[in-house]
Structure 1
């Protein structure tokens, strides 16, 4: 996931303003108790609005798994709802919300494979599929080579029988007495 700090110093303010505006817009257009992912340029904006209207947005690149983004949103919003009573939500100002666990979550979820066991299992399964495919391909190639050897062996067997019969006929004409 990219953070505003990854942009140049002169771009940060305008990028932050755009992200804030865009996030507010997609939250307003998302019905409560639903999730959605919106593509904006080279980024995906994942939004989750809970039934109690608490909302969160994760902005990531296209390679970051959507499922992991929504898992992150669920965990952050659940923990936020536990720590901050809902009666205080209307009075919160977005720039002054104290939620130090957010940085912990963001650093943990930088690598989706480590943060999400299912993603790790899925990637391991993909690697295993590739290895199995290569192994099966090698076995099939060996099988083809074995088939070639069997057919050559059968050809040699037929030729040796023909040679034996020819030699027998030739030897039957000659007598060694």
Structure 2
């Protein structure tokens, strides 16, 4: 099966793309995937959508992406992207990082490269192993970057957790103090009541004795 879709993108913007099949909305899926792709370092990774695989190669801040069916050779897919990179790096270098489009001539030339490029037929076990390592590295880099982005949120959560723990400790101490205060107060009331009852009983006994005598 051939490569079904290819594109070159900078940040979240697709600079140029080419579709050789009407089977799926590859451009929409690619646009969505670009929001989750970091371009701060060079790496490879793979996204899965429906019955297709989207192969990603990030190099020098530019994202090169192609789509193929799941049984397509990973080696050939990345060779396809490497072929595009080698033949278009001069264009991407000349394109200002603030620009969102190539010139029309550049677009036509890159589209022609995408159409004719099929990747070099390299399919050795060593290359396959290297692809797997590069893919894993790309996934790890992406995950670490996501964790770093969540770092501030985690710090805030830890601070809130520490504050709640401190408030809980303060509440416990206050509860103990209140409990002791009311315990002593209740004890005094009980002693006072006992004294009063004792006085009443003694008074009654004295009256009974006096009356009896």
Structure of higher RCO (CA pairs closer than 8 Å, 6+ residues apart): 2
Query: Which structure shows the higher strand fraction?
Result: 2
Higher Rg? 2
Query: Which structure shows the higher helix fraction?
Result: 1
